[in-house]
Amino acid sequence: MAAASPVEETAPLGPVPQGAYLNQMLVVETALEPEALLAALLEVERGEGRVRDVRWGPRTLDCDIVLWEGRTVGTPALSVPHPELARRDFWLRELAALGIVPGAAGW
């Protein structure tokens, strides 16, 4: 891991009643391509007990690829930058804590 934002407690998103979440943004360096990294992250989620049975429902862990330095991705499985980035204030705060400005040079 190259850097980590502070952990932030946030209200849940979506229509399913549930408790607050802990969120954190990580900057990582990887030799993986974006879809291979996504597959690895989904495996981490499964290993931590995540079951994807209710959309927007409670979850033990949720790993997203939000930005990829110098790249955009648009495949059926993955969109980078994340399409919800501009609407998630906690992501924008966490990126700012890391000194990353979406849309700035390289991002």
Catalytic residues: 50, 59, 62, 64
Contact 71, 35 (CB under 8 A): no
Q: Residue 14: helix, strand or coil by DSSP?
A: coil
Contacts of 14 by beta carbon, 8 Å cutoff, 6+ apart:
55, 56, 57
